[in-house]
Amino acid sequence: MELGTGSLGHGLGIGVGMMMGLRLRKQDKPRVFCLMGDAELDEGSNHEAIAVAARFGLEQLTAIVIDNTSASYDWPGGIASRFENEGWSSATIDGRNREDIKTALTQSHPGVPHVVVAKVEAK
The Cβ of residue 63 has, within 10 Å, a number of other Cβ atoms equal to 29
Q: So what's the pLDDT on residue 73?
A: 66
- The confidence band for 41, taking pLDDT boundaries of 50, 70 and 90, is confident
pLDDT of 6 > 60? The answer is no
What is the spatial distance between Cα 13 and Cα 15, in angstroms, rounded to a whole number?
A: 5
CATH number at residue 21: 3.40.50.970
Could you list the residue range(s) of the whole structural domain that residue 18 is in?
Answer: 2-119
Mean pLDDT over 50-77 rounds to: 88
R_g (Cα) of the chain, nearest Å:
13
Yes or no: say if 85 and 96 are a contact pair by the CB < 8 Å rule: no
Yes or no: say if 71 and 38 are a contact pair by the CB < 8 Å rule: yes
In sequence order, what are the residues at sequence separation of 6 or more whose Cβ sits closer than 8 angstroms to the Cβ of residue 85? none
Total count of domains within the chain: 1
- The confidence band for 108, taking pLDDT boundaries of 50, 70 and 90, is very high
